[in-house]
Amino acid sequence: MLFTFSATACGKKFVFLSSSVVPAAKGHVNMRSDKNKNYVVSVSISNLAEATRLQPSKITYVIWMVTDQGKTENIGQLKSSSSLLSKELTASFKTVTSSKPTKIFISAENDGSVQYPGEQIVLTTNVF
């Protein structure tokens, strides 16, 4: 029983695929279950250019989750500002969801509260 708890607490790590939009960007997603059977999703990214430097220029990055039910949900945003992105262009994000994630991806958007992803997908994981 202790081994099962340890394996669940550690979670799994999923790497973002190489990006043609921001080729230097690298990152990963850590996912684990909590004691309430929710999913804790943590995203870490490095070498991510500010959204305003993209072509076409955008305002923010939005993090999306595809659930095991096939639904795509906006789970948060990474703002292209000095408050969230350091000089090293790194960013992190963490959220808890009751839905089981099967894929995480990041799009560049003009509005962080959009309900559907735009065409400019910056980073994506494989389906897990």
Within 8 A by CB and 6+ apart from 6, the residues are: none
The predicted pLDDT at position 65 comes to: 98
The predicted pLDDT at position 89 comes to: 78
Helices then strands (H, E): number in the chain?
A: 1, 8
Walking along the chain (128 residues) 10 residues at a time, the average pLDDT comes out as 45 95 95 97 93 93 97 87 57 95 97 96 96
This prediction has a pTM of 0.86
Within 8 A by CB and 6+ apart from 116, the residues are: 72
Within 8 A by CB and 6+ apart from 92, the residues are: 42, 43, 44, 45
End-to-end alpha carbon distance in the chain: 25
The predicted pLDDT at position 104 comes to: 98
Structural domains in the chain, sorted by start: 2-124 (2.60.40)
The predicted pLDDT at position 83 comes to: 46
